């Protein structure tokens, strides 16, 4: 029985990892090198998505040009932009992996997952519009300075993702250790006796870092230690008790929106290079507002893809939760472990992205 | 339970470890025309490129470049941008990789570079001299972006020419081959194991020019 449970748990674990990771990137982010050449196997979904997004992107310039003289071309442009957003977002970036991990770590609901996906995609589009509006329209900046601006915004975004990941890791790590302790692994790691003005104090620190102090009070004739552990405090499961931050449980409620907002801002800050290029191209044709419309529709398409992947993540987490709840002790520990893993992934993604920026090549490949 | 935790830790590690840098969305398309240059003694001295950017990226690169006449850019007006272009490309080895007789050849910094505006596209002209002239029977130049952010494609007509080559030399142009299933699989993992500049993966999509002289 125990064995089979482990097997089920292990496969669920695998499924979650897949959702967090592989599914988010299942389709390759690479535009077909030669979309017209038909060199990609038709059987592959990846290849198809690939070819579609590259073809859509390349057709955008024609539609933008055409909409100068022909109002109806604008609607085609918007349609293509929307489709491009859907297909393009299957590739890396656009925060799918981070948002999915965030949803798993925080035991979020489907509704919140979808909302966060849409908000982050909206922020992403709006940031692109703002960057181009200020840098190109108002200041007449060169591609080089726009590239630098995007670069800085990216660094800020990745830094925030790392911070969110580390913060979650801290909170969830504590939760995991608490669950571990409940499971019967409690061992004080360090004990020290201090003589203070009020008497003898025994201080012990557990392996999870929780501290308890026991006072042998002189006035107490029974000469017993009165122990006060972290558990006596109100926020016993959270590292944020000292910072008076919200409990993990609160995140799922109304108060959690602020926390969720931080995550979507971190993810959404980084504008998509494609959107910037499309906006500037539109601007060069004196069709800035058409470009803005196209960018917003791209964002809507992106939101749909991200929300679909977020839905998978939430569903996987709920399945795991159902299996885990059948066994209170192990199950609890298992879920906490998943949360820790998801939090670690967020931090890792942030770290990789930040490291990537240094060796990364984006818009500034040619323009410095 | 411990096994389970270990398995998860392992999974997390496996997912997070693979490598550094760079996500790849192609947002720049380059149509490529190249010339392989020969000295009178039959040695290869360098490669001359003319890279035509797609119209959207051209508009992006031209953003904020001051010019006297709307819709026109002179070579002089574009000179600072050409300078920035070749300087930025240095970090990426100019996306140009030369080999011959199993040896790698290095290039020096580009010479004779300028930008031409052929409405609506920008064309970057530059010459890459070889550090030391190559006298090999088989010489090969590949053009590709290891991170596949830039998509290179040979021009339809006369993509490659030989300039001053001995008459017995023969040119072959190879288009990128169809990815194998393994290469396909690698493509779908780019989010976790992104490509960096040191990766040879992009070579699959290389545009190859080969010259063999009997």
**In angstroms, how far apart are the furthest CA atoms of chain B?**
74
pTM of structure: 0.71
User: Do β-strands B96-100 and B103-105 pair in parallel, antiparallel, or remain unpaired?
Assistant: antiparallel
Q: Write out chain B residues lying below 8 Å of A363, CB-based.
A: 27, 60
Please check whether residue B198 lies inside any domain of the structure.
yes
Chain B residue with minimal CA distance to A87?
B25
pLDDT at A163 (0 to 100): 92
Contact between chains at B26 and A276 (C-beta distance less than 8 A): no
ipTM of the complex: 0.75
Domain count for chain B: 1
Which tokens is A214 given?
């026991």
Give the number of residues written for chain B. Answer: 214
Q: Give B195 to chain A, closest Cα distance, Å.
A: 9
From A37, A46, A366, residue closest to B187, measured CB to CB: A46
Alpha-carbon gap, residue B136 to B157, rounded angstroms: 27
- Which residue from A minimizes the CA distance to B7? A10
Average pLDDT, chain B: 81
Q: Which of A165, A163, A154 is nearest to A102 (CA)?
A: A165
Whether the CB-CB separation of B14 and A22 falls below 8 Å is answered with no
Q: Does B2 fall in a domain?
A: no
Helix axes B55-62, A143-180, angle to 10 degrees: 100
Cβ–Cβ under 8 Å, residues A153 and A131: yes
Say whether pLDDT at B188 is over 80: no
Is B181 inside a domain boundary? yes
Separation between Cα atoms, residue B214 and residue B211, nearest integer Å: 10
What is the reported pLDDT for A192?
Answer: 54
Which range has the worst mean pLDDT, A229-233, A276-280, B48-52, B177-181? A229-233
pLDDT of B115 higher than 90? yes
Q: Which domain holds residue B192?
A: 26-213
What is the secondary structure of B109-130 as a DSSP string?
--EEEEEEEETTEEEEEEEEEE
Cα B17 from Cα B13, distance rounded (Å): 6
Q: Which residues of A touch B60 (CB under 8 A)?
A: 143, 276-277, 280-281, 363, 367
Could you tell me the pLDDT band of residue B81, with boundaries at 50, 70 and 90? very high
Find, among A260, A298, A281, the residue nearest to A127 by Cα: A298
Rounded (10°) CA dihedral B132, B145, A269, A353: -80
| Number of other CB atoms surrounding residue B26 within 10 Å | 28
In DSSP notation, A268-332 reads HTS--HHHHHHHHHHHHTT-HHHHHHHHHHHHHHHHHHHHHHHHHHHHHHHHHHHHHHTSHHHHH
Scanning chain B, the segments in alpha helix (DSSP H) are: 2-16, 55-62, 75-90, 181-187
State how far the Cα of A126 lies from the Cα of A280, in Å rounded to an integer: 14
Q: Which residues pair with B21 in a beta bridge?
A: none
Instruction: Name the residue among B25, B147, B192 with its Cβ closest to that of A21.
Output: B192
- For residue A178, give how far its alpha carbon lies from the nearest alpha carbon of chain B (Å): 15
| Angle, helices A143-180/A256-268, rounded to nearest 10 degrees | 140
Beta strands B138-143 and A188-196 are unpaired
Q: Which of A173-177, B48-52, B145-149 has the lowest mean pLDDT?
A: B145-149
Q: Is residue B13 part of a domain?
A: no
Q: With bands split at pLDDT 50, 70 and 90, how would you rate the model's confidence at B31?
A: very high
Domain ranges across chain A: 2-179+247-367
Give the mean pLDDT of B179-199.
58
Q: What is the pLDDT of residue A20?
A: 44
Write the pLDDT tens digit of every residue in B148-173: 778 888 998 889 999 999 999 999 99
> pLDDT tens digits for chain A (368 residues)?
344 444 544 444 444 444 444 333 333 232 223 333 333 333 366 667 767 777 888 889 889 999 988 888 999 999 999 999 988 887 666 678 888 888 888 888 888 889 999 999 999 999 999 999 999 989 989 998 998 888 889 889 999 999 999 999 998 898 888 888 877 754 445 555 555 554 555 555 555 455 554 444 444 444 444 445 444 443 333 333 333 333 444 445 444 677 778 888 888 888 888 899 999 999 999 999 999 999 999 999 999 999 999 999 999 888 888 888 877 677 888 888 888 999 998 898 888 888 865 434 466 677 76
């Amino acid at each position: 029985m125990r064995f089979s449970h482990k097997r089920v748990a292990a496969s669920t674990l695998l499924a979650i990892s897949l959702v967090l990771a592989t599914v988010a990137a299942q389709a390759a982010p690479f535009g077909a090198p030669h979309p017209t050449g038909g060199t990609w196997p038709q059987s592959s979904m990846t290849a198809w998505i690939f070819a579609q997004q590259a073809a859509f992107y390349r057709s955008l310039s024609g539609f933008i040009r055409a909409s100068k003289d022909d109002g109806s071309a604008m609607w085609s442009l918007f349609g293509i932009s929307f489709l491009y957003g859907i297909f393009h977002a299957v590739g890396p970036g656009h925060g799918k992996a981070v948002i999915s991990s965030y949803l798993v770590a925080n035991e979020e609901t489907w509704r919140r997952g979808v909302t966060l996906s849409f908000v982050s995609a909206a922020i992403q589009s709006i940031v692109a519009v703002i960057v181009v509006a200020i840098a190109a329209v108002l200041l007449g900046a060169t591609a080089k300075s726009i590239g630098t601006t995007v670069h800085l915004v990216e660094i800020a975004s990745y830094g925030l993702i790392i911070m969110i990941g580390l913060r979650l890791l801290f909170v969830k790590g504590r939760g995991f250790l608490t669950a571990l302790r409940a499971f019967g692994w409690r061992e004080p790691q360090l004990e020290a006796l201090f003589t203070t003005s009020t008497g003898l104090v025994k201080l012990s620190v557990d392996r999870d870092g929780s501290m308890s102090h026991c006072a042998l009070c002189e006035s107490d004739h029974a000469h017993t230690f009165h122990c006060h552990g972290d558990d006596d405090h109100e926020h016993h499961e959270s590292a944020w008790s000292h910072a008076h931050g919200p409990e993990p449980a609160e995140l799922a409620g109304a108060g959690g929106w602020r926390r969720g907002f931080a995550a979507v801002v971190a993810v959404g800050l980084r504008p998509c290079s494609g959107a910037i290029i499309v906006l500037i191209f539109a601007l060069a044709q004196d069709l800035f507002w058409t470009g803005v419309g196209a960018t917003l529709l791209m964002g809507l398409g992106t939101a749909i893809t991200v929300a679909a992947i977020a839905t998978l993540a939430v569903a996987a987490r709920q399945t795991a939760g159902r299996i885990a709840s059948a066994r209170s002790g192990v199950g609890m520990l298992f879920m906490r472990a998943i949360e820790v893993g998801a939090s670690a992934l967020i931090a890792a993604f942030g770290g990789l992205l930040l490291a990537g920026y240094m060796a990364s090549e984006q818009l500034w490949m040619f323009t410095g | 339970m411990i096994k389970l935790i270990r398995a998860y830790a392992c999974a997390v590690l496996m997912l997070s470890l693979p490598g550094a840098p760079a996500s790849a969305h192609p947002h720049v398309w380059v149509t490529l025309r190249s010339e392989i240059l020969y000295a009178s003694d039959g040695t290869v001295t360098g490669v001359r490129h003319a890279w035509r950017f797609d119209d959207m990226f051209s508009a992006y690169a031209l953003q904020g470049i001051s010019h006297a006449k709307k819709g026109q850019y002179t070579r002089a007006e574009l000179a600072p941008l050409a300078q920035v272009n070749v300087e930025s490309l240095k970090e990426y080895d100019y996306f140009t990789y030369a080999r011959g007789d199993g040896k790698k050849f290095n290039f020096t910094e580009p010479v004779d570079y300028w930008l031409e505006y052929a409405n609506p596209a920008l064309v970057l002209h530059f010459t890459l001299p070889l550090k030391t002239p190559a006298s090999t029977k088989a010489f090969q130049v590949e053009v590709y972006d290891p991170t596949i952010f830039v998509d290179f494609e040979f021009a339809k007509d006369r993509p490659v020419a030989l300039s001053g080559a001995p008459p017995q030399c023969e040119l072959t142009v190879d288009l990128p081959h169809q990815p194998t299933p393994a290469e396909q699989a690698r493509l779908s993992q780019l989010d976790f194991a992104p490509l960096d500049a040191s990766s040879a993966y992009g070579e699959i999509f290389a545009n190859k020019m080969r010259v063999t002289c009997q």
